[in-house]
Structure 1
Amino acid sequence: MSLEIAVEKKKLKNPPLELHYLGDRVLRQAAKRVAKVDDEIRKLAREMLQTMYSQDGIGLAAPQVGINKQIIVIDIEPDNPANPPLVLINPIIKQVSRDICVAQEGCLSIPGIYMDVKRPQVVEISYKDEHGRPKTLKAGELLGRCIQHEMDHLNGVVFVDRVENSLALAQELSKHGFSYQTVKPIA
């Protein structure tokens, strides 16, 4: 079965969905599970991909476009037309590795800010694809990090909540016009 939501990997002048930014309440709400994977959900995934490509992103969660549903789109190779994007519906983390790695993360909802974040190196998830079929995936490196980052959005967590260097974070946020008061540190 081919990917029904294939979209051209290109920037659109007017992406179909509007991004929400740090400080917006929608980013702090827990997303609701998708009851049924249907054409409406596939259309949403397609529009999320078009919006993500238009913003030079590699991942986007539905809450970032103001939609309170457990849907994530990811494409860690946006310049490679042969690499299909991933659509994760109702993803659940099954297992994480003990190995932790630190790497820089950024977020379409917090443009211009890139900070170090500690995360498990490998993650194993279960989810439904765009056809509603159950799948599992084990991912490390950039894909594993991207999945964890986007899944945080489904729980109302933004990557800056995981940044340990609060002084550097406060300076970066201020420099880019965001308030440190919007951060909810995760102990």
Structure 2
Amino acid sequence: MIDRDAIAAAVPMPILVAPQAILRQTARLVRPEDTATLRDILPRMFSAMYQAPGIGLAAPQVGLGLRFAIVDLGENEQRDPMVLINPEIVEESESLSSREEGCLSLPNQYADVIRPEKVRVRFRTPDGAEQEIEADGLLATCIQHEIDHLDGILFVDHLSTLKRNMIMRRLAKEQRQKR
């Protein structure tokens, strides 16, 4: 269970922006000895995600090469935080859907991405329990997007080379203008 008071009191972690190298690396599996690190980091990650605001955040986006992500499609009093440790897609639908995606590591950049409409995902919870969920709609898209991050894949990698290059150039220009 995620401690809402700890999240509210946590100092948000900085979210890395592409082209940071860690965003292109495959994250290693979370091991039992990583439990204390996760316990300390999770409130800060949720705080960063909520402040952004976003609905998902993977460990590499905050500079951690560990295979876990957080997701929460709820708002304010309807929060429903999920922690997916060592997630893997065990089944995906043949039917596809297109949804506009954005990413906290590619701020203000959006594009339609085609992904499986439904997925079944196996993962561990922070207390070590193995869990499986079926997701569709926005939740399916969000989970697939976050698992991509754990494999060093950004949403723009699902686009044509032309679209991807346009987005990455626009992002680089915006980041230069911020400095």
The one-character-per-residue Cα deviations of 1:133-162 (angstroms, maximum 9, x if unpaired) are 110010000000000000000000011001
Aligned partner of 2:158 in structure 1 is: 162
Task: Tell me the SS of whatever aligns to 1:104.
Answer: strand
Whether contact under 8 Å (1:7, 1:50) holds in the other structure is no
Aligned partner of 1:16 in structure 2 is: 12
Q: Which one of 82, 99, 120 corresponds to residue 116 of structure 2?
A: 120
Q: Residues 21-170 of structure 1 correspond to what in structure 2 (within 5 A)?
A: 21-36=17-32, 38-77=35-74, 79-164=75-160, 166-170=161-165
Classify 1:41/1:9 alpha carbon distance in 2 versus 1 (closer, same or farther; 3 Å): closer
Long gaps (5+) in structure 1: 179-187
Whether contact under 8 Å (2:2, 2:81) holds in the other structure is no
Instruction: Give the stretch that moved more between structures: 16-25 or 135-144.
Output: 16-25
**Structure 1 residue 41, shift from structure 2 partner:** 1.2
* Cα separation, 2, equivalents of 1:142 and 1:81: 19
Structure with the bigger percentage of helix = 2
Aligned partner of 2:168 in structure 1 is: 173
Task: Tell me the SS of whatever aligns to 1:130.
Answer: coil
Q: Which amino acid aligns with 1:151?
A: I
Normalising by structure 1, we get a TM-score of 0.84
Q: Which amino acid aligns with 1:138?
A: E
* Cα separation, 1, equivalents of 2:27 and 2:171: 27
The one-character-per-residue Cα deviations of 1:105-144 (angstroms, maximum 9, x if unpaired) are 0000000100011100001011011111110010000000
* Cα separation, 2, equivalents of 1:16 and 1:25: 21
* Cα separation, 1, equivalents of 2:157 and 2:118: 20
Size of the aligned set, in residue pairs, is 173
Instruction: Report % sequence identity.
Output: 34
**Structure 1 residue 44, shift from structure 2 partner:** 1.5
* Cα separation, 2, equivalents of 1:40 and 1:170: 36
